[in-house]
Amino acid sequence: MTAPSKVSGSSRARISAARTLKPRRYPVSDGAPVEVVEDGAGIAGRLAWLAARLTVRPTLAIGSQLSFVPWPWGLIDFAFRAVAPIPGTVRATIGLAHCSALLVRARGVLPADGTHRVVLYLHGGAFLTCGVHSHGRMATMISRYADAPVLVMNYRMVPRHSVGQAIEDCLAGWRWLRGQGYGPDQIVVVGDSAGGYLALALAERLLAEGEEPAALVSMSPLMQLQAGPKLAHPNIGCDAMFPPKAFEALVGLIARAAARRVVDGRPEEVFEPLDHVGPGLPRTLIHVSGSEVLLYDARLAARRLAAAGVPVEVRIWPGQMHVFQICAPLVPEATRSLRQIGEYIREATG
């Protein structure tokens, strides 16, 4: 059994009231975001944080200074082809108009035939890198805990393509699932890091078209492209992965990619999804490290969603690295997080 979570004082009363009305593990906010602080990182989680600090952060520091260099970002996902899938995983490649996707389901999960629930997964990687192979094992674990197939999008990425094109590819993945017979209330959109941005942007696009996913789930989400507030956040010094220059470099890459794409005779505008939050968006769960800079984005997104009447919950995991869930099952807290996400998905679609 897992140890009980530590809950902030401002949230304890709301959680107690929700459980009094109807027993549920995951409280739903009522006009304000619910914030739950989980137990601190164990030895494995701290070692993962240290490994990222000693390897990823210096690499990104160099890359941020040389962001104009055509780095072979695709090699990261290619290298993950060597990682074997979890035994019993069933995978199928899906071809879409401008990209591909990988349909993943864990052992014992029913096929994606439109009769149960399904997850649309939008991977992170700063819109630059990673893909279906780097995130394949984590997708399988989500499939297992959610008891659902997972469609992992291989969307087009910066710098060759714009973020707007990535959003269009995610919309194509949604439409493919709808074509398989799934209703909006059977589909949960999950994203990590930059995939959190894409998940919210997709939900806003769908809302404009009259559709609403059953829920959104974000892990360590990048929700706002603006770099300034993140550079001023106290976690800028203790983030395991991101040096300050990384956010400024990313904004520059995104802006240049958008400027090269012409939409209706004009350069594509850089989209900030948090500036378009409104009523009608789906209930949202956010998991984030308490030690990363994107804690700022997670809390900002939660406040704006809750202010628009969207039920939203933030679970903070102290001492973990960015998207620590990718370390499951080696890091126990990562497995706990994915199990909680799976239960949330089942509840939202039940």
What letter represents residue 162's amino acid?
S
Quickly count: other Cβ atoms within 10 Å of residue 42's Cβ: 13
322 classed as catalytic: yes
Rounded to whole angstroms, the Cα distance separating 114 from 178 reads 8
| H-state helical runs in the chain | 9-21, 43-65, 74-79, 136-146, 163-179, 194-208, 228-231, 244-260, 295-307, 332-349
Q: Of 35, 204, 292, 313, which one is the catalytic site residue?
A: 292
First to last CA, the chain: 24
What's the CA angle centered on 84, arms 49 and 166, to 5 degrees? Answer: 70
What letter represents residue 250's amino acid?
L
Three-state DSSP state, 150: strand
Cis peptide before 111 (omega within 30 of 0): no
Three-state DSSP state, 215: strand
292 classed as catalytic: yes
How far, rounded to the nearest angstrom, does the alpha carbon of residue 298 sit from its chain's CA centroid?
11
Q: Of 133, 135, 161, 322, which one is the catalytic site residue?
A: 322
| Long-range interactions of 305-310: CB distance < 8 A, separation 24+ | 305/33, 305/277, 305/281, 306/29, 306/31, 306/32, 306/33, 307/277, 308/277, 308/278, 308/279, 308/281, 309/31, 309/279, 310/277, 310/279, 310/281, 310/282, 310/283, 310/284
What's the CA angle centered on 148, arms 185 and 180, to 5 degrees? Answer: 60
Place of tokens 């601190």: 40
| Residue burial 11-26, b: 16+ Cβ < 10 Å; e: rest | beebbeebeeeeeeeb
Q: Of 11, 29, 134, 193, which one is the catalytic site residue?
A: 193
Positions marked active-site: 193, 292, 322
